[in-house]
């Protein structure tokens, strides 16, 4: 009557998974099916290529529902999503989707976690456990760009807060599944060019050195928010636009100390971080991921280069680069994990106009510009997107067009259209082979004769 019982929702750290073992032949058959399907899925996805990540920011009052966002992310083939909080609506909407989530613990909670160990356990119990295992959560970022802030309490609290959260996850046997890290701006570097000469700011070394030791010990990645756009905006007369937009025609920039040649600025920025980590004696023990990068499609009059055309070139070329699974010149064999910023234009972000125009999509679900990927057209998308009845709610009646003949590989309704609720059901079957793979791994550890 089946090999595995239904998995209970995690409500506390004592919850266990109970397996009902079937006959040996049934187990062998299920394992063979899981491995075969996983192999087919990996072949279709291109094997070891790094998956595309997207930042899902919500500093806006006009965004569509998380269910609609799921459809748009699927169109981008994005299988990794980064949140700036642990929004239960979003995590619940993606249950069963196979999408891997990085969730955020807000800055204002960092001092509390550092001073009160029980606060971390409470946060994990409230924000992580209710969504496992249905939604895949693979990392938590503790604060955002804390080390380049001016709050001394935050600087002192960052690592203790990370350690406290890691301990809370360890109490739930989750540290093998969920990494604890934090995101940094490039301002943690005292210099970044040439990449091989980069180093961390001297005043930050007392905080960064033990933080790197924590990341190395726990196997967690170093996250960097890297924006070549800022370099171009600051000096458009000197910085080569093709170089910052990943254009093949760009003249490569050489690092005279290493002989490495850089065809784009993002790779140079990442290798600068790599050199700084090596200078702090941690080197390749710590993986580097780009937790944010993007290009605005609109800006103020003094924001050079903020156009739809340049945004399309930057993000389109970046997506193709990620799909190829390429690493940086200093680490060519390590596919670079990148999270594009951002899924939507966010109308309530403060600062210059560019801050409100980093989205791949407008709040109505239409592309902000063409990045060369096939995106569905979502009609009737208007409202707050917070499920409060102001236009989106559950999304019932929202119509999605997937293109001719069901280009997404699923059957569609009359005229090639289906409602958002239908689309959500399809979204929840993304990468279902991951579930089979997990099942296969468990079964492989079970001895049977």
What's the sign of the alpha-carbon dihedral 167, 168, 172, 177? Answer: negative
User: Cα separation of 92 and 96, whole Å?
Assistant: 9
Q: Out of 247, 287, 292, 402, pick the active-site residue.
A: 292
Q: Which of 70, 56, 66 is nearest to 387 (CA)?
A: 66
Contact 205, 280 (CB under 8 A): yes
Asked about 247 being catalytic, the answer comes back as: no
Domain boundaries of the chain, sorted by first residue? 48-374
Q: What residues contact residue 421 under an 8 Å CB cut-off, 6+ apart?
A: 67, 394, 395, 396
HSE-up of 434 (CA within 13 Å, CB side)?
15
Q: Out of 145, 287, 346, 402, pick the active-site residue.
A: 145
User: Cα separation of 241 and 103, whole Å?
Assistant: 33
Q: Identify the CATH homologous superfamily for domain 48-374.
A: Glycosidases (3.20.20.80)
* The model's pTM: 0.77
Contact 291, 103 (CB under 8 A): no
Asked about 145 being catalytic, the answer comes back as: yes
pLDDT in tens, the chain (449 residues): 344 333 334 445 644 333 333 444 444 443 333 333 333 333 333 334 567 899 999 999 999 999 999 988 888 888 999 999 999 999 999 999 999 999 999 999 999 999 998 999 999 999 999 999 999 999 999 999 999 998 999 999 999 999 999 999 999 999 999 999 999 999 999 988 999 999 999 999 999 999 999 999 999 999 999 999 999 999 999 999 999 999 999 999 999 999 999 999 999 999 999 999 999 887 667 999 999 999 999 999 999 999 999 999 999 999 999 989 989 999 999 999 999 999 999 999 999 999 999 999 999 988 999 876 665 655 545 444 433 323 333 332 223 333 333 333 333 333 333 233 333 333 333 333 333 443 343 334 333 33
User: Cα separation of 166 and 174, whole Å?
Assistant: 9
């Amino acid at each position: 009557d089946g090999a595995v019982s239904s998995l209970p929702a995690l409500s506390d750290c004592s919850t266990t998974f109970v397996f009902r073992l079937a006959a040996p032949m049934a187990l062998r058959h299920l394992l063979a099916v899981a491995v075969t399907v996983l192999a087919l899925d990996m072949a279709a996805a291109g094997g070891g290529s790094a998956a595309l990540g997207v930042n899902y920011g919500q500093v806006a009052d006009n965004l569509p529902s998380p269910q609609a966002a799921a459809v748009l992310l699927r169109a981008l083939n994005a299988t990794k999503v980064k949140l700036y909080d642990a929004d239960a609506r979003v995590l619940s909407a993606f249950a069963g989707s196979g999408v891997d989530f990085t969730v955020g613990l807000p800055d204002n909670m960092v001092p509390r976690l550092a001073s009160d160990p029980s606060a971390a356990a409470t946060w994990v119990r409230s924000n992580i456990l209710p969504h496992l295992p249905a939604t895949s959560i693979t990392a938590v970022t503790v604060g955002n760009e804390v080390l380049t802030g001016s709050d001394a309490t935050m600087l002192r609290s960052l690592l203790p807060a990370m350690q406290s959260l890691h301990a809370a996850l360890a109490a739930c046997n989750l540290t093998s599944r969920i990494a604890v890290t934090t995101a940094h701006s490039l301002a943690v570097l005292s210099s970044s060019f040439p990449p091989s000469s980069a180093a961390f700011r001297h005043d930050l070394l007392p905080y960064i050195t033990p933080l790197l030791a924590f990341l190395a010990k726990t196997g967690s990645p170093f996250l960097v928010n890297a924006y070549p756009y800022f370099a171009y905006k600051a000096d458009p007369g000197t910085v080569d636009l093709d170089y910052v937009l990943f254009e093949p025609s760009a003249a490569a920039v050489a690092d005279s100390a290493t002989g490495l040649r850089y065809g784009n600025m993002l790779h140079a920025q990442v290798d600068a971080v790599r050199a700084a980590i090596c200078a702090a004696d941690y080197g390749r023990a710590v993986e580097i991921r780009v937790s944010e990068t993007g290009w605005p499609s609109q800006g103020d009059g003094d924001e050079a280069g903020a156009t739809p055309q340049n945004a399309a070139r930057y993000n389109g070329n970046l997506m193709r680069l990620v799909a190829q699974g390429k690493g940086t010149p200093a680490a060519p064999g390590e596919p670079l994990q990148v999270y594009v910023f951002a899924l939507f234009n966010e109308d309530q972000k403060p600062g210059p106009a560019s801050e409100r125009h980093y989205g791949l999509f407008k709040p109505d679900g239409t592309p902000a510009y063409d990045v060369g990927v096939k995106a569905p057209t979502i009609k009737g998308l208007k409202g707050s997107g917070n499920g409060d009845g102001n236009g989106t709610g559950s999304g019932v009646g929202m119509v999605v067009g997937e293109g001719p003949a069901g280009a997404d590989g699923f059957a569609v309704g009359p005229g090639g259209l289906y409602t958002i609720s239908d689309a959500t059901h399809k979204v929840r079957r993304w990468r279902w082979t991951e579930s089979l793979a997990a099942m296969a791994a468990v079964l492989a550890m079970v001895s049977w004769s």
